[in-house]
Chains A and B, each alone.
Chain A
Amino acid sequence: MQIGFYFDQTRCTGCSACRVACKDWHDIPAGPENWMRLIYTEQGRIPEVFVAYTIAPCWHCLDPVCVLACPAGAISKREGDGIVVVDTQACLGNEACDEKCRKACPYDAPQFGPEPGARMRKCNYCLDRFEAGRLPNCVEACPVRALDAGPIEELERKYGNDLQAEGFKYFERTRPAVVIRAKRP
């Protein structure tokens, strides 16, 4: 089984409730470390303007290139559910390895705090909640119900799948575990 996220781009208002809920649950200070990010797209001229938001957590890729990039073997993909986790204690810190995981990841999922030598942390699909049978906090936080989570096959069955969307590119080399409903200009 592989877990994943569903994201309905047509509904997302870019409000940041998911982002703040993520920071709250994982107690992350304001600043550069953002396990959940928002990518903003704006195109066109008044009055024909196109605006889209895309969430950017960790997509818990089927082929996680970060795992291979880490010189310390600190990142792994769990058997059984496919959640990509990091052993923060084993991480060498961003000064020692120059953020190899972050540079390898096309989605910018590995995150570092502001302090020198910060160790990598990232979205862990709210592992504590997951193990208690709960949805990730971002999913429950979305005011317009633009997010869902669960086994990727189930999500695909339920929602179909657009592999491309504004602000998101599906990379075959990593195979992100995501189902997207894309917003079209």
Chain B
Amino acid sequence: MNASPPFPADSEVRIVRTTSAFNCGGRCPLRLHVRDNVIIRIEGDDAAEPDQLRTCLRCRAYRKHVHHPDRLLQPQKRVGPRGEGRFEPISWEEALEIAAGELERVKETYGSASILLAVSGGYLGSLHEGARATGRLLSLFGGYTTHYGNVSSEGPIWAATTQLGTPLTGHSRDDLLNARLILLWGYDPARVITGTNTMYELVRAREAGARIVSIDPRYHDSAAVLAHEWLPVHPGTDTAVMAAMAWVMIEEGLCDFEFLDRYTIGFDRFRDYVLGLEDKTAKTPRWAAELSGAPADRITALARAYATIKPAALMDAHGPARSAMGEQFSRMAITLAAMTGNIGRSGGGVGGAFMNLPFGHMYAAPMIPGVRNPVEAGGPSLRGSLDLNLRLQKRIHTNRIFDAILEGTRGGYPADIRLAWFLGNNFLNQLGNTNKAARALKQLEFMIVSELFLTPTARFADLIFPVTSAAERNDLTRGWPSGLYYTAVNRAIEPLGACRSDLEIAMALAAKLGLEEFGTFDEEDWLRTFVEKNPETATPIPDSGAFRRKGIHRLQPAGPHVAFKAQIEDPDRNPFPTPSGKIEIYSERVAAMNDPACPPIPKYLPTPEDRLDPASKSYPLQLVSPHPSNRVHSDMQKIDWLVEADPHRIWINPADARTRGIAEGDAVLAFNDRGRLSIPARVTERIMPGVVCIFEGAWFDPDENGLDRGGNPNVLTPDTYTRGGASIFNTTRVQVQKA
């Protein structure tokens, strides 16, 4: 094309290079076109290919989020009954006065442990990640109770820590081009972004000749584009299919015995389990077929393919691990990868759905320094332990927050919660058992929510602090959860209305409470420290000013990153970071927990509400609630451009629809003992019979009869967790009928 004239031609338009800070799984350079404090258009990264980091549909609609007419622009005080959602705007002075008064009252009356700070990943920037400033504030104030357990990924994290010694199991995405076989196990990267450009890298891997198999109850869009083969498997039975694959490999002598001898411990015990020497049940393909619905011959073929086509990347995702089978699924995947020698080798890998690299990781991001939380003083030492129960002596499991509010210390929880502050989350909507959560929130004495929108959680607040979006802040962001680049958030517009950042709110409240130790560093002071004083970034980023103007600094690695390469190449010098220095198929640390629900080798275990649980027979369908395609969990839910891109519907197979008299587009009810919701039906062969799918994040919207008209699947999911800490969402039984 011709030489380019200046663009855009409008001299009143500024272009701001920045990123958003959603918990979306990507991190994408954006160019925001701004005129008169309004973002009027959005362009993406303009780096030359192949380095261009392309944003998805969500941030293509980012300006509709920032400038949404429903944004809360003023502090809000509840009027009317809790949960009804009626508020009146108040001044910051009044809001801070009320918050300080309630914090002081609750601390004096009940003690600091009665204050709950509930935080999550609704905003993922170094500085304004709300837990830091607010946690510092509350620690200085005397302490607070908080929660433990990453709702998304605790099972895979626990499993990788158990068997490999670290959750950093990822290969960089360019290494996919070296794979000859790729297994997408419960993984839909076209929809759940897991590293910007991941779907593109998979497309390229396919075009370079990799064979791709999708194992999933759904024929999702990733499978439709990538997979040569779809193996439908009932939710929760993936682990049985994997055990049967191990049986085939053992029976047919297809294991990489040299690898097992050299790099692992405990394979003999696992082999005994698989062959049935331990429990008299051989884990044959026929056994797994009965459980999973996958034909035995296809399980056998998959085992042979995985054992012989090398290298093979096992991209086991977090969805199947957000189940009662949680960590067993992820442990079984690691075991299979070890049996085929696919660990530490280019083109191989396990746990590959999420790109946990040892550089540019969010968890290593510089943040406001923490202050020791006095409420947690005297807790047990956690060093080296895998026992979740130790962590839960002082904290509440995240998926039990609402049960803890209801039951308190008499229910075995560490505190009786009277005041809760929800920040960077919509937990009422996003944790299990929404109706119970609503009951719990009605019981609180006081509730603060920091939010941009009147979410289902915020509707229950007594006080809402309106916070700024990333477009109104300066900050630092990173690849999600890691990546070969660092990014900057640059303030594109001045804060809308009276919105403030979480840091500003914490500072103002610290002043109100007389906590001078909080400090006076403002946004710029912190950010300068974060870039220039941080050893991780100070060397690669010599000019922090240029970095922030450009909004990105890319690392230039010599080649693809391969996890555990050093351990495989020179195991004597580089042991795995486990107690034995090897891949622990059998874990002594887990054995010491002495819990049949969490055996020292990975196993398929029967669980409540699994496919065969007789107690759930009045609810014959299994429910899965994967990530939505057109919002970030429950963020961006109200953006009409995104809503029309993929209307909220329940997926149901024609066989299940027919017996219920349900046709495409019909309103249906989905229900179980925990709740009821209504939603339109999508009748499709893309989901296996016996399973239905409702995408998570839809906003809870109960009518006067308690029927959720928003179609939030969490009115149906349990609020429980596994022994490894996985929140259980995808082990849920329901019934569906025509409305």
Contacts and interface: CB of A to CB of B under 8 A. Distances in A.
Interface in A17-34: 17, 19-21, 23-25, 27, 29-31
A113 interface: no
A133 B44 contact: no
Interface string B44-77: 1000000000111100110100000000000000
A45 interface: yes
Contact of A14 (B221, B640, B641, B685): B221
- Grouping DSSP codes into helix (H, G, I), strand (E, B) and loop, the B interface class, with mixed when no group exceeds half, is loop
Contacts of A132: 4-5, 7-9
A44 interface: yes
Interface in A85-139: 128-129, 131-134, 137
A31 B56 CA distance: 20
B215 to A, nearest CB: 11
A11 B1 CA distance: 25
Contacts of B55: 17, 141, 143
Interface stretch (A46-54, A57-65, A72-80, A167-175): A46-54
B222 interface: yes
A45 B9 CA distance: 52
A45 B642 CA distance: 29
A16 interface: yes
B230 A51 contact: no
Contacts of A21: 42, 57, 60
Nearest to A30: B640
B709 interface: no
Nearest to A140: B44
B377 interface: no
A45 B2 contact: no
Nearest to A28: B641
Contact of A143 (B1, B7, B40, B54): B54
A7 B644 CA distance: 22
Interface string B213-249: 0000001011011000011100000000000000000
Among A10, A23, A47, A140, the one with the most B-chain Cβ atoms within 10 Å of its Cβ is A47
B284 interface: no
A46 B219 contact: yes
Contacts of B60: 17, 20-21, 24, 141
Nearest to A29: B640
Contact of A13 (B222, B230, B653): B222
B646 interface: yes
A150 to B, nearest CB: 8
A144 B221 CA distance: 13
A55 to B, nearest CB: 13
Given A47-B230, A51-B686, A15 B629 contact: yes
B727 to A, nearest CB: 27
A142 interface: yes
Of A20, A51, A140, the most chain B CB neighbours within 10 A belong to A20
A19 B57 contact: yes
A143 B198 CA distance: 9
Contacts of B219: 46-47, 49, 51
Interface of A: 10-17, 19-21, 23-25, 27, 29-31, 42, 44-47, 49, 51-52, 128-129, 131-134, 137, 140-145, 150
Given A51-B221, A144-B199, 8 more contacts: A20-B641, A30-B640, A42-B684, A42-B685, A42-B686, A51-B686, A140-B43, A143-B200
